[in-house]
């Protein structure tokens, strides 16, 4: 595990090298703690201060009296259970639909040789070139009045779920992975009498666990973190996800309560990150080595 980097191991072994190394190491630890951990600490403890302590200058580093009323108030006053539940529903639905439809489509494009398959794949990849945010207004108009059936998906989780399926990046990741599965494996299953669906379900999917994991994380994080699109789709306060609700309610609410709500809104994703950190970090690092 000792690959050679910029500084040679020899230079590091010298007393002077050691001293410099540990100085830099301590410096980086302190800097990281200050830049990335301290803001989080400040947020978590800020919510526990009293309303006048939090606006005091100079600020107190540690709350004088620890109180959780900021958190309980946020939970009740800002109706966080509703908004968290909305977010969970939106993210889970988008995730499941993406897994089902993107996997099926990627499998078809990779292994079933549909007519015009190349053209379809080209059309899908072209959407990678078109930045998604630049198209939000026409997308909003489409969702507000679907062509042919003239139904509106506004204020409906379907307005998040269905557009989420049109995720070219995830579909392409899946297709690339399926491409690597040798034909023989699938043909063997077919000879055994397995249908297409059966082959996908009991051979392709079990082999694809790592890529399905990556796609799942991307799908969940994308919906949980999104702001502009749900802001457009949900004008109805009761249906808004937590990101939109936070901003809408931030104007006229006590600072400690708002900060507490911010902490609560961050917990699910941060916990998911800490649980799956090895996979997430490996996934991001692996993505870069691909051209």
Partner 1 sequence: MKTASKPAALPPAALGVPEVPRSAGRRTGGPWRRRLADQSRAYAFLLGGLLCFALFSWYPAIRAVVIAFQKYTPGSGGEWVGTANFTRVFHDPEFTAAWRNTFTFTLLALLIGFAVPFVTALVLNELRHAKAFFRVVVYLPVMIPPVVSALLWKWFYDPGAGLANEALRFVHLPTSNWSNGADTALVSLVIVATWANLGGTVLIYLAALQSIPGELYEAAELDGANLWQRIRHVTIPQTRFIILMLMLLQIIATMQVFTEPFVITGGGPENATVTVLYLIYKYAFLYNDFGGACALSVMLLVLLSAFSALYLRLTRSGGEDS
Interface positions, 143-162, toward partner 1 (CB under 8 A): 143-147, 162
Binders of partner 1 in range 172-231 (CB under 8 A): 177, 181, 184-185, 187-193, 196, 202-203, 206-211, 214, 221, 224-225, 227-228
The distance of closest approach from Cβ of residue 242 to partner 1 in the complex, given in angstroms and rounded to an integer, is: 8
Q: State residue 131 phi and psi, 5-degree precision.
A: -60, 130
| Cβ 201 to partner 1 shortest distance, Å | 12
Residue of 219, 241, 218 lying closest to 230 (CA atoms): 241
Closest distance of CB 115 from partner 1, Å: 6
Closest to partner 1 by CB, 33 or 68:
33
Give pairs for 42-51: CB < 8 Å, separation 24+. 43/259, 43/262, 43/263, 43/266, 44/263, 46/255, 46/256, 46/259, 47/71, 47/74, 47/256, 47/257, 47/259, 47/260, 47/262, 47/263, 48/256, 49/256, 50/256, 51/254, 51/255, 51/256
Pull the structure tokens for residue 144.
């507000």
- Cβ atoms of 169 and 217 within 8 Å: the answer is no
Q: Are 132 and 168 in contact (CB under 8 A)?
A: no
Nearest distance from C-beta of residue 155 to partner 1, angstroms: 15
Subset of 244-263 contacting partner 1 (CB under 8 A): 244, 246-247, 250, 255, 258-259, 262
Is residue 265 within the footprint of partner 1 (CB under 8 A)?
Answer: yes
CB of 285 to partner 1, least distance (A): 4
- Binding positions for partner 1, 12-71, rule CB under 8 A: 12, 21, 24-25, 28-29, 32-33, 35-37, 39-40, 42-43, 46, 54-59
């Amino acid at each position: 595990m000792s690959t050679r980097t910029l500084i040679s191991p020899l230079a590091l072994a010298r007393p002077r090298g050691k001293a410099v190394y540990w100085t830099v190491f301590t410096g980086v630890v302190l800097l990281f703690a200050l830049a990335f951990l301290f803001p989080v600490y400040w947020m978590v403890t800020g919510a526990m201060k009293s309303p006048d302590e939090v606006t005091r200058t100079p600020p107190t580093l540690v709350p004088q009296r620890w109180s959780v009323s900021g958190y309980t108030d946020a939970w009740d006053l800002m109706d966080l259970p509703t908004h968290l539940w909305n977010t969970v529903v939106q993210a889970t639905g988008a995730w499941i639909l993406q897994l089902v439809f993107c996997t099926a489509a990627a499998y078809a494009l990779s292994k079933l040789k549909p007519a015009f398959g190349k053209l379809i794949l080209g059309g899908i990849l072209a959407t990678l070139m078109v930045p998604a945010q630049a198209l939000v207004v026409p997308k909003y108009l489409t969702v507000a009045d679907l062509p042919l059936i003239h139904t509106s998906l506004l204020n409906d989780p379907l307005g998040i779920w269905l557009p989420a399926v049109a995720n070219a990046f995830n579909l392409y990741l899946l297709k690339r992975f399926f491409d690597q599965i040798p034909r023989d494996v699938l043909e063997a299953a077919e000879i055994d009498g397995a249908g297409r669906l059966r082959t996908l379900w009991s051979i392709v999917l079990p082999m694809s666990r790592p890529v399905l994991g990556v796609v799942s994380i991307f799908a969940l994080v994308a919906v949980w973190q999104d702001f502009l699109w749900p802001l457009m789709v949900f004008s109805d306060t009761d249906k808004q996800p937590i990101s939109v609700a936070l901003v809408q309610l931030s104007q006229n609410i006590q600072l400690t309560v708002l900060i507490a709500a911010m902490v609560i809104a961050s917990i699910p994703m941060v916990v998911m990150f800490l649980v799956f950190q090895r996979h997430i970090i490996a996934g991001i690092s692996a993505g870069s080595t691909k051209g």
